[in-house]
Structures are given as structure tokens and as C-alpha cells.
Structure 1
Amino acid sequence: MAVKINGFIEGTQPEELVKLLLSLASNWGDVFDTNKLKVVHLSGAMTNVVYRITWPKNTTGNDERTVLVRIYGEGSDVFFDREEEIRTFESISTHKYGPRLLAQFPEGRVEEFIHAKTLSASDLRDPEISTLIAAKMREFHNLNMPGSKNVLLWSRMRKWLIKARSLCSQEHAKEFQLDILENEIDILENELSQRHQDVAFCHNDLQYGNIMIDDKTKSVTLIDYEYASYNPVAYDIANHFCEWAANYHTDTPHVLDYNMYPDLEDRRRFVQSYFSSAGNQPCDGEVDQLIDDIEKYTLANHLFWGLWGIISGYVTNIDFDYIEYSRQRFNEYWLKKPQLLKGINGISQINDLVGVETRNEKSNGVVAHAT
């Protein structure tokens, strides 16, 4: 029997998955009893459905085996190439980062369960924990991963915009101004790519639920690499800072509170920790420049997850108000753009629009003359 997203709940054991778990248990020498499986749904995931599964290793029941089972969210393949994601997962594992991949089945996979505490929303604001996260991000960014090392951010957003347009109702397309978002992406790419920036292998989804900590050793582990790719370092940190506004374990997990966004002191401490974790003390100019870049990249981050929310709202049946989440991300984009990209909203934007039209007309064999 195939695993169904809505059918895999506590008290049910789909045959295919049980056979896979039985094979794993046999390889480990466990005495496997399906009647003693404990299945716990782990909340907070918005792309997949995640379960912790535990069983006694032996008949005495004094020792247990625990694995994590990830059921791929319906429609989630829209966002990334699943085979590429698995290769990334395995490659990161060979670098001794994160959990090991134990087994795969058509609708998901089984991963090593990390015996550590998943962070809470408030943990992100703990100065000690934030410093540890900054150092771990620096380590992650230093990974040399196989495949293309080109920035993926802009092409991925354009691809998602096409998908969002194909799915959206006219009402949502108008509300979210999908007809002008391609130009917004062009403006951001042009503005944010003007000067040299560090590009590295980025997590791209560093919310608190994807960070684990061992309270005894103070060791931090980053998990869930579905969206990982090469991108500007400033974008990855911007994504993390935007996640300070979220708490996915409330009665309204889609509601964002941007009063929780890190203030300048928090941002400066994080950036200084990020630089110094490599053993070098940064100068004030380096810190200030990265902070400025991060703030600008929050705009790209709002568009990125805004588009993600629109698509998810049409393809995913996970209990989360994706459309309202998108609404908040887009609202924040339009609110902050005039502050962060001064001059872009006026004549510069008009020039960009003229440039887009000129390029389009040239492609049709007509040379346009602006007056």
C-alpha cells in the first residue's frame, strides 16, 4: 500500500514504509514489532510532513531506536529537483553535517534522528545561541559542494513567478501584482549585483525549526536542505533575520511579527560573530557593508517566500494559511523597498521599465527610441 499524506497518522502503518523500517531494523539487529511502533507527528514543517518513529530494540524494551520519516508535501516538487536535493543531502552528510540518509521510498525518505533540541522562535533572540548559529552558518558557507556554483536566487524566482501566474486566480494575480513582479525581480538583481559579493553554498531556509542544538555540548546542527544552493551570503543571512518574525508553533503560525526582526545591535553582533568565527577580526567597514547588503537582500527574500506561499496555497494541503503568509511578505516588500532602495521607485524605475520595453522591441526587430 502506498504512503498517503493524509493516511499516515498515529496508529497506522502503511505496508511499504513498514517493510522498509523492518529491513533497517534487521540490518541493525533489532527485534522489530510493528505493534510497538510509536509515531509522533512533528509540527512546524510547511513543505513536507515529518514524523518521529520509535520502536524497542529488543524484547525487554529497555532501549529504543528512533528515526525521522519525511513524507514529501503534495506539490513540493514544484520548488526543487528532488533528485538534486537527495544528492545535496548525501553530500552534506559526507561532510559530517546533519543527519544521514537511511532509506528512500516513492513518497518520502527515512533519515537519522538527531538527538538534540530543535530551537524555538525565542531561541533565535538569545545572544549566545545567535552567536553559535552565526558560526555554524560560516562553516556551512565554506562547504565545497558539487554542481553549479552560480547564484540560483534570481532564476528560481523567475521560474516560481511563471508557476504562480499559471496557478493564480485573477483576484490573487491582481492583488499580488504578479504582472509587475518580473520587473521587480529585474530591479533587485540589477541593484544588488552591482558590486562584488561573497557567493557560497547557502541553506536558504534557516528558520528556527531547521536548527538543532545539543544543550550539553552547545553544538549546533543545521537540517533540511531542500532549498540549499549557491547564493550570496548576504541573502542567506537576510533570510535568517526575516525568520525572527515567525513563530510556526502558535494558533496562527502564518502570522508574522516584524517587531521581532533583529535590531541593529543584534544584526551587528551576528555579523561580527560570523566573521570572527573564522579566526579573523573584521574591520568596521566590512561589518557595516555586510549589514547593508543583508538589509537590501531582505527585499529579495520577501519576494522569494511570497511567491512560494502563493504556489503552496494552490498545490499543498498542509494546514497553513499560505496565501495570508504571502500577503504579509509582499506587504513588507512594498513597505521596505522605498527605504532600502532609495531612488529606485522614481525615475530609476521608469528607466528600468523603458529598458525592459526597449529590449523586448529589439528582440522583435524594432529599435525603440525613448523621448
Structure 2
Amino acid sequence: VPKEPFVWDKIEQFLSLLPDPYSSEDKQARFTNSFSSLTKLRIEYERLKSHLSQTKSPVVFAHNDLLLGNVIYNKDEGTISFIDYEYAAYCYQAFDIANHFNEFVGISLEDIDYDKYPCEEFQLEWIKVYLAIYLDIDHPSDPLIYKVYTEVQEMSLLSHFLWGIWSLVQYEHSDIDFDFGRYAEIRLNRYFELKDKIFKQLS
């Protein structure tokens, strides 16, 4: 299996599946009102890739969909296990962490609340514990912890973009009783809200 980050090919796959136009006038009008055009999203994808593909975050075998519902804690045994490996593949280490943190805000549309997004202090402590286990060392250095923290902030954009585009595909094709159009708006609006600040930090 090639040890290349799956996420770029996956986003390109999702972009290729987006209808142009949507099958109903109402869906197309909502898409146009929220995102302007498919061309705009493709241009945004290329910009995102040009910034983040230069990351120094290592490529590891990752779950890539660690929402809290996919993390099973056995209190009696003191163990944690993961389920739903549909998107498991090689990807940036920081992407898997960023995606996990993004999912803290909730899954159902009624419950999504970005006040639940983990604060810097929580993330730094989480990353410290993660690196201690990953590297098999007692005390990861502060510069290393902050390096990974910075990479995670950058990769949070990629997580929002991936699942926003995925949701736009579901908006056209899924029969599930869920407002995928609204979920796409939430994830991509968050992306556009954060991108300038994070891109500025990268430049």
C-alpha cells in the first residue's frame, strides 16, 4: 500500500462526484447561495493543497474518522478501542488528531457547538500524552509538542474541507434522513472562517 496521504485523492474523488448542477432547482439554489459555484470550491481546494501539502507532519496509518461515536471506552476493563475503519488509510498524523478534535463539537445538527472545541491547553496536554506513547518517551519536549499543535491547527482546515465536500455529495445522493446541505454549510463555513488566519500563520 503506498504510504501517501489519502486525503488529497479522496477530496478530488468527492469533487468529481459533485453534481453540476444539482438534480433539483431548490438544491442548486441553496448550493449557489452558500458556495457560489463548483469552480470556486475547486480553486479553494487547489489553494488549500498548495499550502498544506508542504507540511512536515509525518504520514502514518490513521483512522481518519475518529468522531467520538467511533471511540469505545470500556470502563470495567479500562480499555479504549476504535470502530468504523471505512476511511482508515495513510494520512498526516496531524490530520487524524485535528479531525478528532473537530468532532468534539457534536455530530447531530442540533448539538453542534463550537464552544465545545478543545482549548489550546487541552490540546497541548493531549498531544503531550500522545507523543509520549507514540515515541515511547517519558517527556516530549515543549518545542515538539507545540510543533504538532501548530500542525493540528493547520490540518483542522483540511478536515473541515474534506467533510464539507463529502456532505455536498451526500446532499445529492443520500437517502438518509439528514440535512447534508446544512452540515456542508457548517463545515465549509468554519473552513472559510478560519482559513485566512491559519494561512497567514503559514506564510
Between structures 1 and 2, the one with greater strand share: 1
1:217 aligns with 2:90: no
Aligned-pair CA distance for 1:170: 3.4
Aligned-pair CA distance for 1:206: 0.3
1:157 aligns with 2:11: yes
Q: How does 1:100-139 map to 2 (within 5 A)?
A: none
The aligned residue for residue 35 of structure 2 is 176
The aligned residue for residue 245 of structure 1 is 105
* Contact 2:21-2:28 within 8 A present in 1 as well: no
Inter-partner Cα distance in structure 2 for 1:321 and 1:335: 21
Structure 1: gaps (5+ residues): 1-146, 349-371
SS in 2 for 1:217: coil
Between structures 1 and 2, the one with greater helix share: 2
Q: Which has the larger radius of gyration?
A: 1
* Contact 2:55-2:151 within 8 A present in 1 as well: no
1:267 aligns with 2:137: no
Q: How does 1:1-371 map to 2 (within 5 A)?
A: 147-166=1-20, 168=22, 169-174=27-32, 175-177=34-36, 178-248=38-108, 252-253=109-110, 255-278=111-134, 279-280=136-137, 281-342=139-200
Structure 2: gaps (5+ residues): none
Aligned-pair CA distance for 1:269: 1.1
* Contact 2:63-2:89 within 8 A present in 1 as well: yes
How many equivalent pairs are there? 195
* Contact 1:165-1:173 within 8 A present in 2 as well: no
RMSD between superposed Cα atoms in Å: 1.9
* Contact 1:173-1:179 within 8 A present in 2 as well: no
Inter-partner Cα distance in structure 1 for 2:58 and 2:107: 30
* Contact 1:197-1:232 within 8 A present in 2 as well: yes
Inter-partner Cα distance in structure 2 for 1:286 and 1:302: 25
Counterpart residue identity of residue 264, structure 1: E
* Contact 1:154-1:185 within 8 A present in 2 as well: no
TM-score by length of 1: 0.50
Q: Which has the higher contact order (CA 8 A, sep 6+)?
A: 2
TM-score by length of 2: 0.89
Seq. identity, %: 30
